[in-house]
A and B are shown apart, each in its own frame.
Chain A
Amino acid sequence: MVNLTLKDLINDKKKFILVCLGLTTSILLVLFGVGMLNGTLNEATNIIENSSADAWITQENRGNALYGSYISGDLCDNVTNSLETDNVYVEKLIYVGGVVDHGNDFTTLQMVGINVSSKLLKPWDVVSGDVTDLNTPFTALIDESFKNSLPGVKIDDEIVINGVNIRVIGFCRNNKFFISSYAWMSLETAQIINNMGNGTSFLLVKYKSGSGYNLNQLKTDLNEIENVDIFSKTQISANTRDYMLYESGAGIGVGIMVVMGLFVSLIIIFLTMYSNVNEKTPEFGTLKAVGASKSFLYKMLMGQVGLLMTLSYIFGTILTYVIGFYISDITTMPIQLNLYLIIVFYCISLLVGIFAILIAIRKVNKIDPIIVFKS
């Protein structure tokens, strides 16, 4: 049986292709922004999510992983002395930014200083090298993305981090935040490079199994200690995501990009459908005259918008993956989409499309079928 929705839509093939191209571009903009924000949020918290710590202790008013937190050696001692070793296990973690000097230029990196025999946090996706080799001073296990700024870098090469020569002992994958790759090193090496003495960025706390210990007890036990804040893993993860979303400007920037993309879609659909109804006023009048119900006409218009948006969305998603993969590869910028986001933004795009045809629908409503007799 004839499909007027489709036939009418593709009757003018050039126009159809141009509209699809415009919509695909705007959807690319939307999905690219969403993917970048999602990737950035995931990477901002990867150090937290990959640790098995139950609680994080930070410098006072530095309640997320991205703030520069510093807890002095004395303060660390005060904390550990206030806690019963039967209840908890405590580890230092240094997580600070730095620069790699490669001749005439610098690139940023993120140093992660750990207890090499750590029970709470280790590099993930290690592709070469042995983590225990980090016990050797001035060594680092670095993310593969360093190869973008240091082409040809390999195991046993020396790189210059914050002016200190560091020997590469291995590589890992996807250990990075935004454009800063991680360089894993021993706590001692990180303390020396960053002039932190015996201090640290964070203290990671693991409740010992069977102890029944919890966050409230931890806060009670550290009640007397000043200049530190205590968070559960969930809290500090949420704080870090919130910081990226609302305070860093990344959320607003990407939000504007997404809204712009959706707005462009809205304008394209509005102009296309409104001009379509204008051009085909006699045809709509004829359909009304021969008995087409309002629902028949609405379904036709909405079907056309649904088809346009769906086709463009499919192309937009494929393009986002292709371009995103390419950009991630050459810039380390994270672009991560998942099925949930794809479905959510497909629904949002459809709603935008339906909103955009409301005026066209109003125009169709106003067409008087009597025009069929006005030749």
Chain B
Amino acid sequence: MINLNKNIVMEIKDISKIYGLKGVKVNALKNINLSLHNGEVVIIMGPSGAGKTTLLSIMGLLLHPTEGTIKFGDTIFDKDSKQSELTKIRRNSIGFIFQTFNLIKSLNVLENLELMAKISKGNNNGYRDRCISMLELLNMGQRLKHKPKHLSGGEMQRVSIARALINEPQVILADEPTGNLDSENGHIIGEYFKKIARERGTTILCATHDKRLEFCADRIIHIEDGSLMN
């Protein structure tokens, strides 16, 4: 159940996305309306090609919608928003978790997190300590100096979660976060999502096929043929 007392952190209105592929127009999203509240875990489920990734991309400000608006805090974005403005919001307010982890191979675990300090251009005082604490919280304290190639899938995904969390974003977007993990590690990731949302008030929007993650969701949204089902 949605706690209506919680603040809305992100709201999309009448979002449509049309791709033009070799002269053929594909309606990837049709008139989508969705609000994300503070501290909730929302799971988007749907078959391949339903529009999950497109929705996640638009809500992650990686893709301009064809129509509609995205309200993030007090700022409204639409099809004409400047890329630099979107980049700034992504840098400071959105964390990403990817199916393939996307860690920087030349950096070790700790450096992958420290890199976010350089990118965020914020106050770096005590950043290293914060990175270490975050990694310890995700049981990666013993692997700080390991490079990604020396980590298991579950460990890489935990580093990926730590990276998404380190700048304390309001929203975390996760795309098939358990897609490359076994069931035990998949469950652990779900537990982390619940914990992060409850303890930090971070909103998590997760696109997945994985029904094992349903246990951690406050809301499950189904998408099919570019439209939300409920």
**Contact: B62 with A289, CB < 8 Å?**
yes
B98 adjacent to A286 (CB under 8 Å): yes
Query: What residues on A are CB-neighbors of B117 within 8 Å?
Result: 1
Contact between chains at B105 and A2 (CB < 8 Å): no
Q: Which residue of B88, B98, B127 contacts A375 across the interface (Cβ within 8 Å)?
A: B98
Residues of B within 8 A of A123 (CB): none
Give the number of residues in A that approach B within 8 Å (Cβ atoms).
24
Which residues on A are within 8 Å of B, measured CB to CB? 1-2, 4, 7-8, 11, 282-283, 285-293, 296, 369-370, 372-375
A375 and B92 form a contact (CB under 8 A): no
**Nearest CB in chain B to that of A291: its residue:** B91
Shortest C-beta distance, B147 to chain A (Å), equals: 9
Find out whether the CB atom of B62 lies under 8 angstroms from the CB atom of A369.
yes
CA distance A8 to B175 in the complex (A): 26
- 24 A-B residue pairs with Cβ-Cβ distance under 8 Å, sorted by A, are A1-B127, A1-B128, A4-B115, A4-B118, A11-B105, A11-B106, A283-B102, A287-B119, A289-B60, A290-B90, A290-B91, A290-B96, A291-B88, A291-B92, A291-B119, A296-B119, A370-B62, A372-B96, A372-B102, A373-B53, A373-B62, A375-B98, A375-B99, A375-B179
Q: State the majority secondary structure of interface residues on A.
A: helix
Asked if B185 is an interface residue, CB under 8 A from chain A, the answer is no
Scan B33-74; emit 1 where CB is below 8 A from any A CB, else 0: 000000000000000000001001100101100000000000
B225 at the interface (CB under 8 A from A): no
Report the bound CA distance from A291 to B94 in whole Å: 9
A368, chain B: closest CB distance, angstroms: 8
Cβ-defined contact, A291 with B87, below 8 A: yes
B-side residues, CB < 8 A to A, are 53, 56-57, 60, 62-63, 84, 87-88, 90-92, 94-96, 98-100, 102, 104-107, 111, 114-120, 124, 127-128, 163, 175-176, 179
20 further interface pairs, Cβ-Cβ under 8 Å (given A4-B104, A8-B106, A375-B98): A1-B114, A2-B107, A2-B115, A2-B118, A4-B115, A4-B118, A7-B111, A11-B105, A283-B102, A286-B102, A287-B119, A289-B62, A289-B90, A289-B96, A290-B119, A291-B119, A296-B119, A370-B62, A373-B57, A375-B176
A325 to B191, CA, bound (A): 69
A8–B104 Cα distance when bound, in Å, is 9
Bound-state Cα–Cα, A285 to B103, Å: 11
Q: Give the residues in chain B near A286, CB-CB below 8 Å.
A: 98, 102, 104
**A283 & B90 in contact (Cβ 8 Å cutoff):** no
Q: Chain B contacts of A288 at CB under 8 A?
A: 87
Q: How far is the CA of A293 from the CA of B173 in the complex (A)?
A: 20
CB of B56 within 8 A of CB of A293, answer: no
Chain A residues within an 8 Å CB radius of B119:
287, 290-293, 296
Closest B residue, CB atoms, query A283: B104
CA distance A249 to B118 in the complex (A): 53
Closest to B104 in A: A283
Instruction: Name the B residues within 8 Å of A289 (CB-CB).
Output: 60, 62, 90, 96
* A7 closest partner in B (C-beta): B106
User: What residues of chain B lie closer than 8 Å to A296, measured between beta carbons?
Assistant: 118-119
Closest A residue to B180 by CB, please name it: A375
CB distance from B60 to the nearest CB of A (A): 7
